């Protein structure tokens, strides 16, 4: 009689192959226990629901934060967030990629809290070799505190694209050919923090944090880095002769998404460093002339 183990050998092999592929390309729909470490805030950062939900809290004593266990060099990364409700003025919820060192690279989503009834401001920025100053800010067009919404970063050697609920809001292209640094060489971890920034976050610091509303809470779920290259021991999981390069590694915006991007930039953008003449009296950065 054929044993159960013998009859299960092929399915078991398939499972092992799938587990190997998952470890090579990043986590699938994530478990916060497996994918992240709490780095700040002690009990203010809490993993719940068997690893499916993570809450960050801010009170007058401290904020909180977490970081990914893995480092990535390029990827398409999704996270669903529900932001601090009510009077969130003075608070910042930051969700970003960042490398190590004094000449770091960074790709930022920052959500600037506001008074009850006023819209959140989504602040985006890109750093390369420790230099940023590439801010664009947007209104979201919905209440990001009422439910979870998906915030995504596509980062490949040609471009960085910021997405909200699957629609592009910003594209930062690789323009190294004209001397603009681009984050292409340093692996980055995923971070998120909830902290007090009432010296600048809301109306330039005019509105302060109302600590009677504390604790402030931001929630996270549905992390997905299945389309990302994990950096392990100085090598990328995507550098292998056994697999063809993933499509996202050369992904561009098609005509439909270019139209969506243009609509958001026309209707929802409230600040663009490339149009701030007072900030750059000697002339705009070179990438602004290529837009």
Model pLDDT for residues 56-66, shown as the tens digit of each residue: 999 999 999 99
Q: Is the pLDDT of residue 2 over 70?
A: no
The overall average pLDDT reported for the chain is 89
Comparing CA positions, the residue from 182, 185, 172 lying closest to residue 136 is 172
- Domain boundaries in the chain? 32-288
Give the model confidence (pLDDT) of 32-81 as tens digits: 999 999 999 999 999 999 999 999 999 999 999 999 999 999 999 999 99
Catalytic residue among 52, 71, 110, 133: 110
Beta bridge partners of 216: 58
Specify whether 106 is catalytic. yes
Q: Residue 194 and residue 135: Cα distance in Å, rounded?
A: 20
Instruction: Note the CATH architecture for domain 32-288.
Output: Sandwich (2.60)
Q: Is 212 helix (H, G, I), strand (E, B) or coil?
A: helix
Binned at pLDDT 50, 70 and 90, residue 205 comes out as confident
User: Which backbone phi and psi does 247 adopt, to 5 degrees?
Assistant: -60, -35
Contact assessment for residue 272 and residue 133, using Cβ atoms and an 8 Å cutoff? no
Q: Which helix (H) or strand (E) holds 13?
A: helix 9-25
Comparing CA positions, the residue from 124, 76, 126, 79 lying closest to residue 98 is 126
Specify whether 71 is catalytic. no
Q: How far is CA 81 from CA 55, 127, 136, 150, in A?
A: 10, 23, 20, 7
Comparing CA positions, the residue from 108, 77, 104 lying closest to residue 92 is 108
Comparing CA positions, the residue from 270, 22, 227, 277 lying closest to residue 122 is 270
Catalytic residue among 106, 133, 171, 251: 106
Q: Is the pLDDT of residue 13 over 60?
A: no
Please compute the mean of the pLDDT values over residues 116-140 and round it to a whole number: 94
Q: Is the pLDDT of residue 19 over 70?
A: no
């Amino acid at each position: 009689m054929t044993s159960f183990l013998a009859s299960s050998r092929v399915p078991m092999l398939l499972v092992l192959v799938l587990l190997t592929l998952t470890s090579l390309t990043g986590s699938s729909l994530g478990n916060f226990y497996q994918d992240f470490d709490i780095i700040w805030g002690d009990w203010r950062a809490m993993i719940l629901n068997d690893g499916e939900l993570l809450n960050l809290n801010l009170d007058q004593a401290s904020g909180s934060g977490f970081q990914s266990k893995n480092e990535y060099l390029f990827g398409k990364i999704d996270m669903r967030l529900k932001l601090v409700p009510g009077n969130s003025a003075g608070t910042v919820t930051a969700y970003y990629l960042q490398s190590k060192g004094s000449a770091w690279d960074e790709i930022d989503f920052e959500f600037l809290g506001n008074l009850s009834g006023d819209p959140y401001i989504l602040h985006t920025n890109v750093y390369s070799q420790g230099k940023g100053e590439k801010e664009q800010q947007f209104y979201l067009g919905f209440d990001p505190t009422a439910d979870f919404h998906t915030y995504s970063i596509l980062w490949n050697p040609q471009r960085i694209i910021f997405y909200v609920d699957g629609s592009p809001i910003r594209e930062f292209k690789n323009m190294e050919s004209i001397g603009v640094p681009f984050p292409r060489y340093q692996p980055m971890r995923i971070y998120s923090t909830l902290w007090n920034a009432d010296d600048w976050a809301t109306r330039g610091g005019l509105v302060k944090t109302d600590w009677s509303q504390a604790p402030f809470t931001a929630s996270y779920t549905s992390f997905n880095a299945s389309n990302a290259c994990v950096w392990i021991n100085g090598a990328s999981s995507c550098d292998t002769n056994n697999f063809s390069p993933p499509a996202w590694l050369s992904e561009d915006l098609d005509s439909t998404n270019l139209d969506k991007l243009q609509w958001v930039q026309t209707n929802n953008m409230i600040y663009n460093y490339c149009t701030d003449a007072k900030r750059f009296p000697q002339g705009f950065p070179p990438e602004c002339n290529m837009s």
